[in-house]
Structure 1
């Protein structure tokens, strides 16, 4: 019997998150053996996540309490330098003209390679928790950077994704910046809200879901 324990991640576990994200991005996309570059990528993600004050990170842990899925959601404060600007030189204020729109960034999405039978369920559950944060206000949009495979999955699930720039090679894959509209996000959340056994605010206490192997 396999268990998936969904919980929010505390700041003391940010390095664990960074290692998981870098490891799984390269596991899914290309062979990776440069230890020095691996450590540099991990440190970069760790320090970036540590600099965000108001982010929420949701993870899934396995029977051994190891992370097997992650996602991070952040309401932009118009000061933090988001990956969209860092990697693509795009200022969110240049694409979102309405100053009253809440701009969210969704990132650090990763699923452990090898849990294919249950990985999609983990994906949808983590997405539901993240989008539950975004969709409190109808005047909200989200931005994200995702690889081509993930972008295809998002569109198949009815999440409207508008490409903002040409892709770049990042963390082992071609990465594309996208704008996610409120209507598409809310449609997905309404369809999958049953996956959240507790509200996101209650996730300081873990939520254990049982799955058959």
Structure 2
């Protein structure tokens, strides 16, 4: 059974159970093709890609946390998965797609200590506020990084998503040229903890029971508000005090582009 995390406006967030992995695979594949206005070669193409993702995520499950957003009907409208690569002995999708020489895991661990892989990000094309849902899912995915002094995220993303991430002040570093993967050109990337900090501080109140006065453009102090029902997976946000005393600003420039995707 999926594990309830919290309710946010008209959606609920859940930590996906192993029994629900095929529904994740189907959602990710279907939405990738819909977003990029492509149709799979035939039914067999879809089935093969469903099975590929299902198999990979089954192998990674014990090292991962998968967060999905569901609408009032219980249908998935968004998904993201974060995996601890320090503990996972298996080859991550990034390396399968772009080769074992793309990065050196040993050197990366020496430099950043904690390595995470984020994948299976998808938002339903018909969903009315993709930007808000993107931010919410991303906050949960990157939160484990902020439990440690050092850390780095690895991921694959298409060109549209990369533009949105940069517009949201996520400091993405590309690792190589892109390749065709599940219906779109996919590019390997990494983001350090420092590269995630501005996005986290600007948006943390969405997910972690903090609020601030939106009339101000710079806010030196975040204020706790009455707790909602929460059930955080993967040790999220154990030290909320760490997010205090930071400046925040509002930036709506990315809304139109992403909601048009």
Same fold (TM over 0.5): yes
Based on CA coordinates, which of the two structures has the bigger radius of gyration? 2
- CA 1:42–1:63 in 2, change beyond 3 Å: closer, same or farther? same
In structure 2, C-alpha distance between the alignment counterparts of 1:97 and 1:8, rounded to whole Å: 27
Asked whether 1:122 is paired with 2:123, we answer: no
Match of 2:148 in 1: 137
In structure 2, C-alpha distance between the alignment counterparts of 1:131 and 1:152, rounded to whole Å: 18
Q: Please list every run of 5 or more consecutive structure 1 residues that lacks an aligned counterpart in the other structure.
A: 204-213
Match of 1:154 in 2: 165
Deviates more, 1:87-96 or 1:121-130: 87-96
Asked whether 1:70 is paired with 2:59, we answer: no
Deviates more, 1:58-67 or 1:98-107: 98-107
Of residues 49, 52, 65 in structure 2, which corresponds to 1:56?
A: 65
In structure 1, C-alpha distance between the alignment counterparts of 2:194 and 2:19, rounded to whole Å: 35
Q: How many Å apart are 1:78 and its aligned residue?
A: 5.3
Of residues 71, 74, 98 in structure 2, which corresponds to 1:88?
A: 98
Asked whether 1:35 is paired with 2:47, we answer: no
Of residues 17, 25, 30 in structure 1, which corresponds to 2:24?
A: 17
Q: Which one scores higher on RCO, CA 8 angstroms, separation ≥ 6?
A: 1
Match of 2:123 in 1: 111
TM-score (normalizing by structure 2): 0.73
Asked whether 1:178 is paired with 2:194, we answer: no
Equivalent residue pairs, number = 201
SS in 2 for 1:60: strand
- CA 1:7–1:97 in 2, change beyond 3 Å: closer, same or farther? closer
Q: In the TM superposition, what whole-angstrom CA distance separates every residue of 1:4-31 from its partner, at most 9, and x where no partner exists?
A: 1111111110000000000000000132
Question: Following TM superposition, where does structure 1 have runs of at least 4 consecutive aligned residues deviating by more than 3 angstroms?
Answer: none
Q: 1:162·1:179 contact (CA, 8 Å) conserved in 2?
A: yes
Match of 1:207 in 2: none
Q: 1:84·1:91 contact (CA, 8 Å) conserved in 2?
A: no
Q: Please list every run of 5 or more consecutive structure 2 residues that lacks an aligned counterpart in the other structure.
A: 1-8, 210-229, 236-261
In structure 1, C-alpha distance between the alignment counterparts of 2:201 and 2:76, rounded to whole Å: 26
TM-score (normalizing by structure 1): 0.88
SS in 2 for 1:96: helix
- CA 1:11–1:131 in 2, change beyond 3 Å: closer, same or farther? same
